[in-house]
Amino acid sequence: MPAVNLNYGTLKENYLFAEIAKRVNAYAALHPEQHLLRLGIGDVTQPLTPSVIAALHEAVDLQSSADTFHGYMSELGYAPLRSAVAAYYRRRSVTLKDSEVFVSSGASDELGDILNLFDRSLDVILLEPAYPAYADANVMDGRTIHYLAASDANGFTPLPPQESMQALIYICSPNNPTGAVFTRELLKQWVDYANQTGSVILFDAAYEAFITRDDIPRSIYEIEGAKTCAIEISSLSKTAGFTGTRCGYTVIPEDLERDGMNLNAMWVRNRTTRTNGVSFILQHGALAVFSEQGQKEVQELLSVYRANAKRFMKALDEAGLNYFGGENAPYIWMKCPHGRSGWETFDLLLEQAQIVGTPGEGFGKCGAGYFRFSMFADPDDIEEAGRRISTVLK
Ligand code: MLT
């Protein structure tokens, strides 16, 4: 019998963003004089908003007095924050009980941890290209993955498969990496498929705040039937600049049951056993995001990234380059010109224009020949990247 998890042996040597960081660091070490224009990993560049900063300071002060000090927090989340998240959903006509909201330390942590609820023999359906952690976390568990191609032909939003299969289904909308958004009608087809087959949808809503169109759902629970088949994982990383601060939330409806087991109750059991929750200081800061003023500030923050996207799309248009996304999403998904691969485009952009992006191949085979730009970059870097791109890629 093996002593360790041999599934690790089937993973690629490095995780995508670790591999890119390695290559970029090697280039930077050879060219210390060059300023790199970082449009690679979707890491935010704007600071936390004033309301959040004030709440974080306040939380530190509260921890300084025995009367207001907090020790262990609830493993499930700070009650006022769970209520604030439920109220945030109510504004979009989604009714949730506070007990259906769990505070997490971020979406990527949760996307890995949540797999503990599922049997290792359960198949996985991945709409590819996809955020690489979906596949890697399941490879670590030894699950079988079925890839469904999201392509130009289906607007990067594929229909459920013809074949009936019970599976764990990943849907990310707005999509990372393609920037595509799933319509209400399409999500309804996925929800019906999941309910019919006994599947569970893991809906990654990390980029929901980028949706400006009223007809595009920001939550899977806007779709009838979703409460019996979907878990939604979201985060403050991309909406409120929490990539380095870490706080997110997960919704598991109390109506979600499989094999006679209740997934909400299972997650309560999991969290109370495997974590002591997110720190009080961070949750107090996160709570400020959901205040009226906090929400105004979030919109101001997002407007920086939206303006980046507009500016960069204009540059791509002027260069005659073909791309998707960028509207209702912080990612732009470019078709690599001249039949180049994503990695060839990566090398070319890095060496000749000092632009860092992400090769489509990093998001799976179906990403081959594409290239992702993150709009979370510094606005001056976006401006400069826009200027340089046409000369290199034309
Ligand atoms: C990305 O660049 O795809 C994401 O920012 C990575 C992450 O959220 O972990």
Query: Would you state the pLDDT for residue 15?
Result: 86
**Ligand 1 centre distance from Cα of residue 271 (Å):** 24
Query: Would you state the pLDDT for residue 390?
Result: 87
Q: How far is residue 22 CA from its own chain's centroid?
A: 22
**Ligand 1 centre distance from Cα of residue 132 (Å):** 9
Using one digit for the tens of pLDDT, what is the confidence trace for 58-72? Answer: 999 999 999 999 999
* Cβ partners under 8 Å of residue 293, min gap 6: 51
Can you tell me which atom of ligand 1 is nearest the CA of 235? Answer: 8
Residue closest by Cα to atom 9 of ligand 1? 108
Can you tell me which atom of ligand 1 is nearest the CA of 132? Answer: 3
| Amino acid found at 173 | S
**Ligand 1 centre distance from Cα of residue 45 (Å):** 13
From first to last of its 394 residues, what are the pLDDT tens digits of the chain? 999 999 999 998 888 899 999 999 999 999 999 999 999 999 999 999 999 999 999 999 999 999 999 999 999 999 999 999 999 999 989 999 999 999 999 999 999 999 999 999 999 999 999 999 999 999 999 999 999 999 999 999 999 999 999 999 999 999 999 999 999 999 999 999 999 999 999 999 999 999 999 999 999 999 999 999 999 999 999 999 999 999 999 999 999 999 999 999 999 999 999 999 999 999 999 999 999 999 999 999 999 999 999 999 999 999 999 999 999 999 999 999 999 999 999 999 999 999 999 999 999 999 999 999 999 999 999 999 999 998 999 7
Dig out the tokens for 142 from the structure.
Answer: 């030894």
Query: Would you state the pLDDT for residue 12?
Result: 86
- What is the DSSP code (8-state) at residue 178? T
Helix (H) or strand (E) holding 184: helix 184-197
Dig out the tokens for 258 from the structure.
Answer: 């499989």
Within a 10 A sphere around the Cβ of 24, how many other Cβ atoms? Answer: 18
Residue closest by Cα to atom 4 of ligand 1? 42
State the alpha helices, DSSP H only, in 319-377: 342-353
**Ligand 1 centre distance from Cα of residue 29 (Å):** 24
Taking CA atoms, 285 is separated from 46, 251, 275, 302, 303, in Å, by 16, 20, 20, 18, 21
CA distance 55 to 43: 23
Query: Would you state the pLDDT for residue 13?
Result: 81
CA distance 44 to 38: 11
Instruction: Provide the β-strand partners of residue 358.
Output: 372
Contact 294, 247 (CB under 8 A): no
Residues having CB closer than 6 A to ligand 1 are 41-43, 108, 131, 176, 374
Can you tell me which atom of ligand 1 is nearest the CA of 237? Answer: 8
Backbone angles phi and psi of 6, in degrees to 5: -70, -15
Residue closest by Cα to atom 1 of ligand 1? 42
Farthest CA pair distance, the chain: 66
Inter-helix orientation angle 280-289/292-318, to 10°: 70
Backbone angles phi and psi of 333, in degrees to 5: -115, 105
**Ligand 1 centre distance from Cα of residue 176 (Å):** 8
